[in-house]
Amino acid sequence: MSTDVGIIGLGRYLPSEMRTNEDVAARTPGVNAEWVGRRTGVLSRFVAAPGEAASDLAAPAAEAALSAAGLDAAQVDLLVVATTTADEPSPATACRVQAALGAADAVSFDVNGACAGWLFAVKIARDWLRDKPGSGYAVVIGVEVFSRFLDPDDRATAVIFGDGAAAAVLGPVPEGTGFDDIRLGTESALADAVIVPGGGSRLPASTSTVERREHTIRMDGRAVTQFFRSRFPQLLYGLLDDHDLKLGDIDAFACHQANPVLLKAVAAEHGVDPGRLIVVADRIGNIGSGCTPYAIAEAVARDLLQPGSRVILVAFGAGMTFGGALLTWAPGVKLLDATKENL
């Protein structure tokens, strides 16, 4: 019996409010819409409504993925939510999603691997399912509500991030398909390069932390860029070399979308065909842990993946975390988009 585990259904969800670069420039001192588009490549992003939390975005994405896979929530054995913007410090956002779905028998928990978190969660889910070959299903969700954690005066962050969710159902797939390789890492010497300093046990919430805006994202853009430029080729060529593949053998590159301009430039430097590089952040912004699964879903929406297609995934995040994966596409995988009207 095959122990291969792969994606068998996909879903994605965006909140209803869209903010253009003109909208963001009106809120952020020292920038204009042309500057935002030229420097970041982001043209629009979506923003959660007041009172709309991470679980409210994650649940419809997960429900859509389950429907795409032809499964009921009662069949879910494992539910993992990758997020840095949880509903609350405790309990896990996955518990909220489990309740919303009615997945009563699922083991549910969160993973915080920042923008690489979805790959961390996939690794856990794949290994979990391999313990019970031929049966069992996992829902793995990447979701962020970054709009709650942005300083509108900080142009390095206020113009890039958006809110959104994407989910994948993992389960048994035909032999020779599924996740061939998942590799993860952390370079903790750069842990302060992207950080929300307030709200934890080191700087618990107080009047002074709020006044100093310590509950918003702070980012060293130069350090992040250098990290991306060094780690991207390591992950890319490591996966290719270890599996005796060439760039031309890869049908789609679904990477984290920290900055579309940077992603396109670095990919081009290493010979990635721009027609196979899935860029979504130009329309939805950087949605953190949701970017990689959203990009996979976009590849399906564009009809770029057929059974046997090979996909390389590369992601980076605060910490600094990083991950790469090689995925061989299984037959019959469908996508349901819970917010098609927004696109």
CB count within 10 Å of CB 185 equals 14
286 classed as catalytic: yes
Per annotation, catalytic residue among 112, 255, 256, 259? 256
Nearest to 25, CA basis, from 35, 39, 38: 35
The residue annotated as part of the active site, out of 21, 95, 112, 115, is 115
Burial of 30 (0-12, 13-18, 19+ CB in 10 A): exposed
| Burial track 296-313 (b if 16+ CB lie within 10 A, e otherwise) | bbbbbbeebbeeebbbbb
Helix and strand numbers (H, E) in the chain are: 11, 14
- The interaxial angle of helices 117-130 and 291-301, nearest 10 deg, is 80
Place of tokens 């409504």: 49
Is 256 among the residues known to form the active site? Answer: yes
- Residue 199, judged by CB atoms within 10 A of its CB (0-12, 13-18, 19+), counts as middle
Residue 282, CA atoms < 13 Å, CB-side half-sphere: 12
Reply yes or no on whether 115 is catalytic. Answer: yes
Q: Could you say which of 255, 259, 286, 291 is catalytic?
A: 286
Dist. CA 302–CA 277, nearest whole Å: 12
Rounded-to-integer distance, Cα 14 and Cα 341, Å: 10
Tell me the C-alpha distance between 11 and 247, whole Å. Answer: 28
Alpha-carbon distance 292 to 297, whole Å? Answer: 9
Do residues 97 and 81 touch, judged by C-beta distance below 8 A? yes
Neighbours of 242 (CB within 10 A): 12
Sort strands 5-13 and 334-337 into parallel, antiparallel or unpaired.
Answer: parallel
94 is written with which tokens?
A: 């996955």
Sheet of strand 252-255: strand arrangement: 178-186, 321-328, 310-317, 252-255
- Residues with a catalytic annotation lie at 115, 256, 286
